[in-house]
Amino acid sequence: MAAKTKFRGSFTALVTPFKNGSLDEAAFRSLVNWQISEGTNGLVPVGTTGESPTLNHDEHKKVVEWCIAEAKGRVPVVAGAGSNSTKEAIELSQHAEKAGADAVLVVTPYYNKPTQEGLYQHFKAINDAIGIPIIIYNIPPRSVIDMSVDTMKRLWELKNIAGVKDATASMVRVSQQRAAMGEDFNQLSGEDATILGYMAHGGHGCISVTSNVAPRLCAEFHAAWQKGDTKAALAIHDKLMPLHNNLFIESNPAPIKYAMSLLGKFDETLRLPMVPVSEPTRAAVRSAMVHAGLIN
């Protein structure tokens, strides 16, 4: 039986709070609970927004475990488990399965630039090593490579390949993937700013950076869309659009961590080579948060 998913709505690509150079467990657990209470439909720990590149393996696994423990089955947890080393991605995926994750999010291997056949073999090896669903994370701006629709279609034939986090920002791609794989292929946007168009082209939801700071509004957008209330969805989208833009003026997750500090959730500590945002970006993020009604 294929391990497919029906993830819908707003899934938060969680930030990872730090304190005195270490993981801030209390702040992270508090963030998980706040997200769920605000209506978030699912949680995605230790993706790029969670600064996975600068977490060691023990820290990565702890964050996944804390997220699952704190969520207590109230919403699905899709654990970040990607790597440009297939062996490492398998290890992280196996840990996520053992910890109780509902699925894993596996990014296309960055920097070493595999061919389409290499991409297929990478994901097939992970598929063969675990028994929970895999969401392909296709993000050409960060990984440099773009998984083709044809490669996705080949992978869709495997038992655990369930869908895609699509950060191509291409509306055409959503329709092409629907045509190739059908409605059951779980399509989640990885680009907050394009979510309205993404849903209109047949998408199912979003793995969102913005929903870290605006979880209720992001969840309300998806609820309105699912009810067919496009007017309400557009109004919420307009409210959030400056945030969708301004949270990416500098490299994610520096702006979103600053935004979270403005809400008093935790401070904006990052790990090098990430650094706090500049004053012009601070002003832009503050302005967008005021526009969204999150702060005065």
* Residue positions annotated with a catalytic role: 137, 165
Distances (CA, A) of 258 to 30, 165, 219, 246: 17, 25, 21, 12
- Give the list of residues 6+ apart from residue 8 with CB closer than 8 angstroms, or none: 41, 204, 205, 222, 226
Residues 196 and 234: beta-carbon distance below 8 Å: yes
Cα four-point dihedral sign 269, 273, 276, 281 = negative
Give strand pairing partners of 104.
Answer: 79, 134
Single-letter residue type at 283? A
- Give the list of residues 6+ apart from residue 117 with CB closer than 8 angstroms, or none: none
d(C-alpha 113, C-alpha 51), whole Å:
21
Give strand pairing partners of 164.
Answer: 136, 187
